[in-house]
Structures are given as C-alpha cells and as structure tokens.
Structure 1
Amino acid sequence: ESILNAQVGDVDSKIYRKHAEQIETELQELEKEIIGEKGLIEKKLTAYDKLLTTYPWLQDERKKFMYTMPDKNKQKNDYISWKTEWAKIFFDYARFAILHIIYIREFNSQKPFSDFTNREQYIIEIAEELINLKQAKWISKKKEKLRIYWKTLDVWSDEIYRWAYDNGKLEPVMIFELREAKDKDFSNLPIEDLEAIFKLLAKNRRAKVLKLDNGQLALKIKLE
C-alpha cells in the first residue's frame, strides 16, 4: 500500500508540475500578446492621429470647405482665419512627427495636407505664414525645403546641456553622440543647428567648444 501511495503521489506531483508549466507558458504567451498589442497601438499612433485629438474637425464632413483656400482678395478675413488655423496644424504636425526640415514635395502626400484641393500652393502659403511668425525659414531658393522651429535654439541648448549633465558627459561631447541619443528629439537636428547650439552654450558660459583635428566641433560642458 505504501508503494502504491508513493506511486500515486509521484503521479500527482508530475501532473501538478505539468499543469504549472502549462499555466506558466500560457501566462508568458498572454504577456507577449499584451506587449504586442501595446506596441501595435504605439506604432499606429502617427502624427496624423495625434493631430486628430487636437483638431477633430479635420475628419468632420461639415468642415470640408477648410481644404480649399478662400480667395485672399475677395474673402480676406476668411483667408486670414484659414491661413492662421492651418499654420497651427502644420506646426503641430512637424512637432508630433519630430520633423525639423520639411520637404514640400513629400509633405504633399501626408494627411491631412494630401486632401487639399491645390496641395503645393496651399502648403507654400501656410509655410509663408509660419515664416512671418518667425517659426520657419526657407532653406532652398526654389522653396522646396523648409526649416521649421517648434523649439527655439535656446530651449534646445537647455535640453542638450541637461542631457549631457544628467548622463555624466564630463568629457567632450561629439555630435555623433547626440545622434545616437535616439530617444531625444534633438538627435536629428540639422548639423548647422547643433553647431549654433554649441556656440550658444559657450556664449552663455555653460560649456566650452572644442575644434577637433577633422574640423568638427565638440562640446565640453561646465558644471553649474
């Protein structure tokens, strides 16, 4: 009888372990599914999706008229309102998409701008409004590329200094190190802006700019 009980106990133990392993496997699969769903949600949250939360009228059928620019001579007030609203949307799109340089031809195919009745003309009109607001500038004579400033160089300089300080970057910081900080919005700033930010930090006595043998600049921060 004791042998039989031992065998039964051994069988129960094996069944329990198998059941526990099965539950653990199912939990791991469930966790993968949850993580996968979260990743999918994050991946689907595009700049356009973010725009819709701020400007829900973009999908409102009753607002279709906003995709046609009012006549600037005959409907001056409507034109000004239209241009002002779309300048905000353009600005926020660049901010949500973390774009510093806008290529007009590529922008034509991005929603909501792809729904314009005259895409290229309207986008240039909106870009000119941002330039008037000192939030952008043309960087090509043919108006094919636009530099948009959704943060000032002063703000970027603060962020770069804080990043270097928090990460213990007491040795000279190379531009490629900023490029490798992929989780930071400044990682894809144009090289000209990064060099200007280095000089700005030096001017404010928060860092020293070093010129390397290859002609590139490096930044050595000063502790505050």
Structure 2
Amino acid sequence: MAEIEWPWQYSFPPFFTLQPHADTRAKQIAAWKSLVLEYYRITKQAVVDVREIHTNPLFNNASINRKLPSEAVLVILEELGKSGNASPLDKTKQRWLVYWHTLEEWGDIIYNWAQENSFTGSVCTFFELTQGEDTSEQEFHGLDTEVLIRSLKTLEAARKAEIISFDDNQGVKFF
C-alpha cells in the first residue's frame, strides 16, 4: 500500500472539530472531502463504517490525540454524496461507499480501457476487470466489487455495456 501524505491540517487539532464559523467550516469540510477521497484512492478501499471510524487512521490522529466525531464524519460523507463521491449502503447511513471518481467517471474509465484494448463485443468477468493481468496497470484494478457494479450500471444506462451472470460468475459485455 502506498504511503499517505497527510496535509498540514491533519496535524492541526481544530481540524478534528467542526468549526462554527460558516466560511471556516466550508473550507474545513472541503479539506476533509479531499483528504477522504485521497485516502480511499491510495488505500484502494471503498467502505466507511461510521461505527468503526475510530479504528481508522484517517479519522483518528493518534500523534495529536484527536478523533473526528462520528457526527462530523456523517456531515463529510453527506457532502461527498452531494458531489457524487459517496452513497450510503444502509438506511441508517452507518455504512457508506466512497468513490474517488464518481460512478460515471469510473464507468467512462472502464469503457475507455475496454475500447482501447479491443474488448468491445466481448465479455470480461468482474474478476478479470479488478484482479486480472490485463488491468494490473489500470486505476480500477483492485476496485471494490460493489463500486464496480454501480459503475457498470452507468454504462448499462448509456447502452454501452450489459452486466451478465453465468455459472457462478458475473461479468460485463461491452458494446
């Protein structure tokens, strides 16, 4: 896993408390959004469980003994949701998917790869897309399966692909 370069704010204790002043708070939330997306991109993770955030180094800076409260994490996740970079996995909004690219962007990235590598008209399994040798240099290599499926659904809606099931596998046919 690549090393995270923490921004200066991460070592600034007030960064871990939502600020009351509107302009300061807006800048703080923007910085958190950027940090969350970068962290999940580098670690190739996708799921945030709000109940377990205090075990996550992203929200828990042990070196300054600061933790971001779960209420603040929810505010940040809601903001990420507004920009298309997160969505709740449950009705209680305790588990979220985080996308460092929006689902449409992921769909475009995957579709462009399929076109450039002559996979249009053929089927790729989800495993081949996220774990296969052909994609080892691609940004979507290692992508969470749920994020992959949601991305491919944007391609289905655009009539560029179809998700298919066969035997015990799932795959996608690119058009």
> SS where residue 45 of structure 2 aligns?
coil
1:201 to 134, 138, 155: 155
1:95 paired to 2:41: yes
Paired AA for residue 124 in structure 2: V
Q: Supply the AA of the counterpart residue of 2:101.
A: K
**Structure index of larger Rg:** 1
CA RMSD of aligned residues (A): 3.1
- Structure 1 counterpart of 2:54, from 108, 130, 133: 108
Distance apart, 1:65 and its partner CA: 2.3
Question: Structure 2: which 5+ runs fail to align?
Answer: none
Q: Percent identity?
A: 22
Alignment of 1:1-224 (within 5 A): 45-46=2-3, 48-49=4-5, 52=6, 55-59=7-11, 63-70=12-19, 72=20, 75-115=21-61, 116-169=66-119, 171-181=122-132, 183=136, 184-207=138-161, 209=162, 211-214=164-167, 217-222=170-175
What is the deviation of 1:210?
Answer: 6.3
Number of aligned residue pairs: give it.
167
Mapped to 2, the partners of 1:190 and 1:213 lie a distance apart of: 20
8 Å CA contact 1:138, 1:146 repeated in 2: yes
Q: CA deviation at 1:143?
A: 2.6
Which residue of structure 2 aligns with residue 39 of structure 1? none
Q: Which runs of 4+ in 1 moved over 6 A?
A: none
Distance of aligned partners of 1:105 and 1:185 in 2 relative to their CA distance in 1, 3 Å threshold: farther
The answer to whether the 8 A contact 1:66-1:82 is kept is yes
Gaps in structure 1 of 5+ consecutive residues: 1-42
After TM superposition, give the deviation of residue 103 of structure 1 in Å: 2.3
CA deviations on 1:178-221 (whole Å, 9 max, x unpaired) are 232373342444444434444443554544x3634448543333
The code of the aligned residue for 2:78 comes to: E
Q: Distance in 2 between matches of 1:112 and 1:157?
A: 27
- TM-score computed with the length of structure 1 as normaliser: 0.58
Q: Which has the higher contact order (CA 8 A, sep 6+)?
A: 2
Aligned-partner Cα distance in 2 for 1:154–1:118: 30
Classify 1:164/1:135 alpha carbon distance in 2 versus 1 (closer, same or farther; 3 Å).
closer
Q: What is the deviation of 1:142?
A: 3.0
Q: CA deviation at 1:88?
A: 2.1
107-116 or 92-101, which deviates more: 107-116
